[in-house]
Chains A and B, each alone.
Chain A
């Protein structure tokens, strides 16, 4: 089972000091948080995507690529990548790049986004949110699996003979999670493709998460990807810890009371009762988190939200130190009575093994540029199509010589 943290990248005033960090400070702090996450033994760091203040993470792959260079084992993911307003072609390219530079440590979580104006800002219509998510992902899915894609749909310029580069690392696309709070179509989408399903779980009662995960598992089996118990489930969670419970409640309350989303709403006590939020000792976090399994079954990925609402970097790093201890216990406890047929969260290594067994994975090697920037047959030497068997042409890559057919034969 994988454990990690996810951040929405909010820049929020610290209610205890009134001071708002700068964008530069929060970006630097986030890198420090990700590095500490690896140091304390966490597996995953996932980053949100937003296109308006007070959030900073407009370009997650840039940040994640830098973090990849600063870490060695940390799995890098998103929470979420906007499948509605991003061009699926650019997602295909960006995340394949991230896969390569991170050495296969990248996956991503797709979501529709919850900021209305982002749709018009990126030329889309929010009323088409679900159809956009469906069509864009279908294209993304193909771009990572087919070297040459001819495609036309409702929302995007058609593609003729398009190749998304670089090809996925070792011929294996990044694993995809589909994130949702309460849209059953998204659970169905994840099940249809045999992808992972991530339940936000943070701001909502457990009953919603339970229903959504049950639907996903049932449909995963229906679509023939395996038994319901083998579906790939991730959950959010939110914690604030001190060695003893009263200190945690005292220290977190001002952040809770003023937090974006739930601040000025229910009391801390009501909210911890109704949602997965745990404010207390490490043992309380362990107990509550282990309880998640009771209503979603054995699952694969647990991410915690620990750095929002204006919590200063120092506090967040303290949280990570405690979380490292908590996760060590959770790993042992979750492993107990876990049925053998329940898989771990897919990693690049496991996906390569699943696809190639002991054989060497694909290493995409392009043919020479034929100058027309369009693909006829396969553009790659290593794929077995008629074109790929042809002798590579030599000669000019650009200019008239490049387009002169057979000029060099």
Chain B
């Protein structure tokens, strides 16, 4: 069986970033959850910081420079997406949204998504559900029910907010994600943006007789 393709997108702006750290942990748990199911997975990680200029140019021009195109192609043919963004001013980072905006609206259909977010305090944790999740449902992707929010305090002490620790939540999200990734065959489908939906004769009322 061919390996499942998992793409990780991290919109953290600093280096090193806690956003990237959360992304890596989500990816590591997802890979082991898949391994337990006997499924091999390969992970490609994209730091949006490195693509920031390309994303802006895409917004201005309408086409992707080569490095960005590579990331967009990888997502379009992925079996799963782990998307992690910092929460700025009550919502996803602007860079993250700009990236989402240059993705072809059809490219995420049926794509299993594991959402992660980081912030200064746990009080922003619902941003996953009121801001990030609607983005993916609008695009007909399939975000798993558990979204993992890591506040600064989560990185110290295994108790986290005293309810469930960050590693517990990462594990739970990764399990849900692995269940969906295991079943999908998205990466085996051929994506052709130049494909005609139907022959032209149908467009003008059957004149072509095709």
A211 within 8 A of partner (CB): yes
Count, chain B residues at interface, CB 8 A:
20
- On chain B, the residues within 8 Å of A262 by CB distance are 60-61
Give Cα A205–Cα B201 distance, bound, in whole angstroms. Answer: 30
- On chain B, the residues within 8 Å of A189 by CB distance are 200, 203
- Quick one: which of A78-101 are within 8 Å of B by CB? none
Which size bracket describes the interface of A in this complex? 20 to 34
Stretch at the interface among B28-36, B159-167, B178-186, B191-199: B191-199
B105 within 8 A of partner (CB): no
A187-226 interface bits toward B, Cβ cutoff 8 Å, 1 = contact, 0 = none = 0110110000000000111001001100100010001000
B57 within 8 A of partner (CB): yes
Residue of A nearest to B56 (CB): A265
Secondary structure call for the A interface:
helix
B69 to chain A minimum Cβ distance, whole angstroms, is 8
Secondary structure call for the B interface:
loop
Residue of B nearest to A183 (CB): B194
A184 within 8 A of partner (CB): yes
B204 within 8 A of partner (CB): yes
Give Cα A138–Cα B60 distance, bound, in whole angstroms. Answer: 34
Asked if B196 and A185 sit within 8 Å, CB to CB, the answer is: yes
Give Cα A205–Cα B66 distance, bound, in whole angstroms. Answer: 9
Chain B residues engaging chain A, CB cutoff 8 angstroms: 53, 56-57, 60-63, 65-66, 193-196, 199-201, 203-204, 207-208
Beyond A203-B62, A205-B63, A265-B56: 9 further Cβ-contacts under 8 Å? A138-B204, A138-B207, A189-B200, A191-B200, A211-B194, A264-B60, A265-B57, A266-B57, A266-B60
24 A-B interface contacts by CB (under 8 A): A130-B203, A131-B203, A134-B203, A135-B204, A182-B194, A185-B196, A188-B196, A188-B199, A189-B200, A192-B204, A203-B61, A203-B63, A204-B62, A204-B63, A211-B194, A215-B196, A219-B200, A223-B208, A261-B61, A264-B60, A265-B61, A266-B61, A266-B65, A274-B65
The 5 closest A-B pairs by CB, nearest first: A265-B60, A188-B200, A266-B57, A192-B200, A265-B57
Chain A residues engaging chain B, CB cutoff 8 angstroms: 130-131, 134-135, 138, 182, 184-185, 188-189, 191-192, 203-205, 208, 211-212, 215, 219, 223, 261-262, 264-266, 270, 274
